[in-house]
Amino acid sequence: MTSSAETTAKRPLRVAIIGAGPAGVYAADILTKSNEVKDGDFEVSIDLFEAHPAPYGLIRYGVAPDHPRIKGIVNALHKVLDRGDIRFLGNVTYGRDLTLHDIRAFYDAVIFSTGAIKDAELDVPGVELEGSFGGADFVSWYDGHPDVPRDWPLDAKEIAVIGNGNVALDVARMLVKHAEELLTTEIPDNVYRALKNSPVTDVHVFGRRGPAQVKFTPLELRELSHARDVDIVLYPEDFEFDEASEEAIRSNNQIKTMVNTMTNWLAEEHAQADVPSSRRLHLHFLHSPVEIYASDSDAGNGKVAGIKFERMQLDGTGHVKGTGEFIDYPVQAVYRAIGYHGSPLDELEYDAKYGVIPNEGGRVLDEYGEPVPGIYTTGWIKRGPVGLIGHTKGDALETIGFLLEDRLTLPPAKNPDPQAIIELLEQRGIRYTTWEGWNRLDAHELKLGVTWSGRTDSGIVRERVKVVPREEMIEISRGPED
């Protein structure tokens, strides 16, 4: 009888990666560059599947459009996929177009890198009211995600954003920034028009802990001050530091930088001339949300009229405890941006508490806690939505290390011919997209930017205009021959 090792030794190792965001691309890149592959011990053949017609995942649909430096990661991902040794297959949704049973027939190993795209839940009364939104949903809207409605109710003058991470600052900045400043980005036209007509005057960002415990980064913080005609407002009573806070400021340069930046802003507020801007971004700390409420006269309609917080105080360890003091803020919209949460995947175990696939170092576990042969995971669906994009490389390195360790015992694919999966997709009528198709769509979006810039005498140059509708993306990607 021929062993699995003997079977796979005679052909390239076939690996499917589900999810073409940074996690999936990094995993593919690391696998192709592993010493075993470079030294000729074996060959590898990788297919990178993506539910969207375009690659890049979080970078395209989860990062604010005015983040050119972060979006520059696209250049590195592009270089990996443009080499030609990793096949991209877009517009293919796991669990709908292909099952795990389907995939295992064509591949020796499967890596899930589907990320985390849902909002973490906020368990307070009133979260279901009209005007209460998930930050992740708003990000998907302003980033032109193909599967979300193209309209967004921007009718609030006063808005609360709950959270003290990078996403909360992104949401707040996009809400308060004047739309004209976004025209140099790839912002979709419908998003620009909606933001331009927004009546917003005040956006309040609330964090549960103190300034030394924030989860955003110095880059995100500094970008707040770059918005034109927007005042940043801070409150002296929020700048409370306990022993743990003082130690964090002394020992962590990033925390020290952010605290110094905010305290400088606080001091500058009182020295500024009395010429207020038309919009204000308020940063609040030591506020824990208690209730989102509607007005008495609007109780039947259920629209947000305000939000109540309990005032917190630091307990000496950097954590907080309630003071029993409650504060109300009149707002007409609330955005919760307290983190992302992963989604369950068909035919795999799921840890609902943490929003991850149960795993050990990237080896996916079954219901009994045992590794499932040939199934792996990486990125946020592996470790939870923590850390920056760069941390995903370490994740992928660990996962690929275990896959290579298991290589000789992987269950071999029944039909490893690379053309076989293409034939299945075509039989099922799945209009998959390719890397060549993405290059076609990419060129089209860049051309739209040039066309837009040439139509106006504003002097504004747009690098690209993002195509939003899924069907239009598919048509452009697949070309006139489809």
Measure the CA–CA gap between 257 and 249, rounded to whole angstroms: 8
Sketch the domain layout of the chain as residue ranges. Answer: 4-117+343-432, 118-340
What per-residue confidence (pLDDT) applies to 217?
A: 86
Residue 354 predicted with pLDDT over 70: yes
Q: Kindly give, in sequence order, each residue whose CB lies less than 8 Å from that of residue 113, ignoring residues fewer than 6 positions away.
A: 17, 18, 19, 21, 23, 24, 27, 377, 378, 379, 381, 382, 396
Structure confidence at residue 8 as a pLDDT band (50, 70, 90): low
Q: How many residues does the chain have?
A: 482
Helix axes 22-32, 391-406, angle to 10 degrees: 50
Angle (CA) 37 39 41, round 5°: 65
Tell me the per-residue pLDDT of 89-144, one tens digit each, with 9 for 90 and over.
999 999 999 999 999 999 999 999 999 989 999 999 999 999 999 999 999 999 99
Q: What's the pLDDT score for residue 225? A: 85
Per mean pLDDT, which range of 15-24, 46-55, 186-195, 268-277 is the poorest? 268-277
Longest dimension (CA), the chain: 86
Cα separation, 127 vs 466, whole angstroms: 32
Residue 73 has pLDDT above 90, yes or no: no
Instruction: Find all residues with CB under 8 Å of 201, minimum gap 6, and list them.
Output: 157, 158, 278, 279, 280
* 161-178 core/surface letters (b: 16 or more CB in 10 A; e: else): bbbbbbbbbbbbbbbbbe
The whole-number average pLDDT for the span 324-335 is: 98
> How would you classify the pairing of strands 132-134 and 333-336?
parallel
pLDDT value of position 262: 94
Say what the pLDDT of residue 423 is: 98
Please tell me the distance from the alpha carbon of residue 358 to that of residue 225, in angstroms, as a whole number.
Answer: 41
Mean pLDDT computed over every residue of the chain? 92
Average confidence (pLDDT) over 395-419? 96
pLDDT at 352: 94
Is the confidence at residue 389, as pLDDT, over 80? no
Q: Which residues fall within 8 angstroms of residue 449, CB to CB, at 6 or more apart?
A: 186, 461, 462, 463, 464, 465
Q: Closest by alpha carbon to 208, among 315, 326, 101, 312?
A: 312
Q: How many Cα atoms are found within 13 Å in the side-chain-facing hemisphere of 294?
A: 15
Q: What is the pLDDT of residue 9?
A: 62
Q: Which of 113, 101, 153, 129 is nearest to 23 (CA)?
A: 113
Q: How confident is the model at residue 482 (pLDDT cuts 50, 70, 90)?
A: very low
When the candidates are 3.40.50.720, 1.10.3720.10, 3.40.1280.10, 2.60.40.180, the CATH number that belongs to 4-117+343-432 is: 3.40.50.720
Strands 306-314 vs 287-293: parallel, antiparallel or unpaired: antiparallel
In whole angstroms, what is the distance from residue 396 CA to residue 362 CA? Answer: 8
How far apart CA 393 and CA 119 sit, in angstroms, is 24
Tell me phi and psi for residue 118, to 5 degrees. -90, 155
Sheet containing 86-89: give its strands across.
86-89, 44-49, 13-18, 109-112, 371-377, 363-365, 359-360
Q: What is the pLDDT of residue 406?
A: 97
pLDDT bracket for residue 194 (50, 70, 90): very high
What pLDDT shows up at residue 435? 98
Average pLDDT over residues 439-450: 94
- Right CATH for 118-340 from 3.50.50.60, 3.90.78.10, 1.10.1740.10, 3.40.1160.10: 3.50.50.60
Give the pLDDT of residue 1: 43
Answer yes or no: is pLDDT of 56 > 80. Answer: yes
Higher pLDDT, 220 or 206: 206
Q: Which of 43, 47, 53, 59 is nearest to 111 (CA)?
A: 47
- List the single range of 64-78, 119-133, 322-336 with lowest mean pLDDT: 64-78
For residue 300, pLDDT over 60 is answered with no
pLDDT over threshold 90, residue 67: no
Mean local confidence (pLDDT), 54-71 = 87
